[in-house]
Every structure is written in structure tokens, then in C-alpha cells.
Structure 1
């Protein structure tokens, strides 16, 4: 059998899941202060990072296009996002954050990073660098 022993895999699995749950719970608190759901926050982040098409947003969020349509409508109604005709293909729309959306997304990002920073403050510099290196190794796309 290749790989680490099953008991270690089980322990790491539980610890990884616990860390994700802790971080997600903290994220929900941060987002709730802005009246934003985690899915809305992720959509704002993706649009801020350059995802412009609803179809691409659906892919990134791993949701159905109809779900993205409802999500975009809620963000548009809140004044956080606008849809504009695509200049290259008028059948499509492009997504853009409004000034209010940019401000909210900036606050969400800053609050999230502060919450994560506080969580990471339990580690010393060497541990942080080792953690970063391990995460990089574990998240690398296999080269084939």
C-alpha cells in the first residue's frame, strides 16, 4: 500500500475538516455583518478578480446558471453589481461591481483576511512558512 497509514489519513482528514468548518463559521460571521451570504461574497470576489460572464461565474461557483441568475438579481437589487451588454456579443452580458459593490467587497476581503490572520497568529514564522509550503504542495495540479 502506498501513502501514509490510514489512521494518520483519518486524523488529518478530521483536522482539515475542523479547520475548514472553523474558517467557514468565521467567514459567515464576517459576511453577515455586511448582510451578505457566503455565496454572494464569493460572487463579488470573483467579479472583482475579473470573472465577467455569468456562465463563467456559474462554473467557478459550481452552481446552475439559473442559480447564478437569482444570485446576480439579488446583488443587482442590493446595488452591488451591474449587468451590461457585452460589446463583442450583445446576446451576452458582462458583470461589473458598482462603487458600492467594490466598497463592500473590499470590506469583506479586509475582514476575512483579518479573521484568517488572527487564526494563523497561533503559528510562529517558521510554522507559517512550513504550512504555506505544505499547502502549496498539496494544492499543486498534478503534472503529467
Structure 2
């Protein structure tokens, strides 16, 4: 299979980037209301979803461990996150959200869903179904 023609690929690429920029811009505004950057908000989301090790955060965020350390320090200083020794390996630390961190993570998720929902509201129910099907198809992991 040769794929779609190059001009169409370029146009879809530009539209994809425009959508990502729009969503990231809106996310930055929403997260700034909580005094957080995009990366800090993503750390809260990942820890809430079960990522407990700083090394795993670095992998998920695709940043250096030293950058994760700075993010964790800033979130600890604001009382949103705690680091504590790993009971299975005292050389490592595990991460957990504080009660305030849990509350902020929930507010961020709700705010993000409102923002994304506002963007999706421009689509008809049929378009939403088609968009979902296309995103699902494009994001499926190839099985081999």
C-alpha cells in the first residue's frame, strides 16, 4: 500500500498540529488557574493513574531524570505530592499524591474534559462517532 498522496498527508499533518496547539494552549490556560505548568499537571495525572517511580515518570514524559526531580520538588513544595522510601527497595522512592494533590488532579481532569468537550461540541453526533472511530484506528498498536 502506497498511502495517501503527499499533498493530503501534508494538509492533514498541518491540521493535526493546529489541533494539538489549540488544545495545548487551552490546557495551559486551565492548568495555570491552578498555578501549574503542563508538565506539572501531567505528573499529577500520571501519579494518580499509578505511576509511582520517578524513573517511570521520566520515561512517560520523555524527559531527563534531573528534570523529573525538579518537577517533583516543586509539587512537593506546594503540598501536592509526597515522596517516600520504596518498602521493597529503600534506595528508591515512591510517589503519592497528597489529599490536596488528589483534589487538584480531579479539578484538572474535570477542567480539561470541559475544554476538550467544548472543542468537540463543534461536531455533530455523526462526526463525533466518525472522529472516535478514526482516532481509535490511528492509535491502535500494531499487533505482530
Aligned to 2:96: 96
> Displacement, 1:142?
1.4
Q: Counterparts of 2:68 and 2:22 in 1: how far apart (Å)?
A: 27
Q: Counterparts of 1:46 and 1:72 in 2: how far apart (Å)?
A: 12
SS at match of 2:123: coil
Aligned to 2:80: 80
- How do residues 1-144 of structure 1 correspond to structure 2 at under 5 angstroms? 2-144=2-144
Q: Counterparts of 1:22 and 1:67 in 2: how far apart (Å)?
A: 25
SS at match of 2:82: strand
> Displacement, 1:44?
0.3
> Displacement, 1:28?
0.3
Q: Deviations over 1:48-103 (max 9, x none)?
A: 00000000011001011111011100000000000011111111110000001011
- What stretches of structure 2 of length at least 5 have no aligned partner? none
SS at match of 1:118: helix
Length-normalised TM-score, structure 1: 0.98
Length-normalised TM-score, structure 2: 0.98
SS at match of 1:50: coil
How large is the RMSD of aligned CA atoms in angstroms?
0.8
> Displacement, 1:143?
1.5
Q: Counterparts of 1:16 and 1:122 in 2: how far apart (Å)?
A: 16
Q: Counterparts of 2:76 and 2:101 in 1: how far apart (Å)?
A: 9
Q: Counterparts of 2:142 and 2:114 in 1: how far apart (Å)?
A: 31
How many residue pairs get matched?
144
SS at match of 1:42: helix
Runs of 4+ in 1 over 6 A off after TM superposition: none
